[in-house]
Amino acid sequence: MKTIVVACGAGVATSTIIVDRLHNLLSKHDIKAKIIQCNLGEIDSYSRYADLIVSSMKLNKTFEIPSITGISFITGIGQEETEISIINCLRT
């Protein structure tokens, strides 16, 4: 099982929308994953246990695991490309 960290500024509004979209995407591709929802300041504490970070904004820090900006789940613009990137990260 994979672990995904989903983060936004406060860990509430946009991350909740991204988590919902991720659940649908993972279900559609039959991928089992644990999703951890948090604010940007909490990413460090979860990243060492995770396989992927999806954030609502571009991160100013790099991590040892892949990170993807998931704002397209909010706007709808470029969502298909974001979904492909997420699936590719989780299938490796």
Q: Which of 7, 8, 22, 50 is catalytic?
A: 8
Is residue 8 flagged as an active site residue?
yes
The pLDDT tens digits of the residues spanning 17-52 come to 999 999 999 999 999 999 999 999 999 999 999 999
Q: State the pTM of this model.
A: 0.94
Cα dist. 13→18, 41, 71, 84, 85 in Å?
9, 15, 12, 24, 23
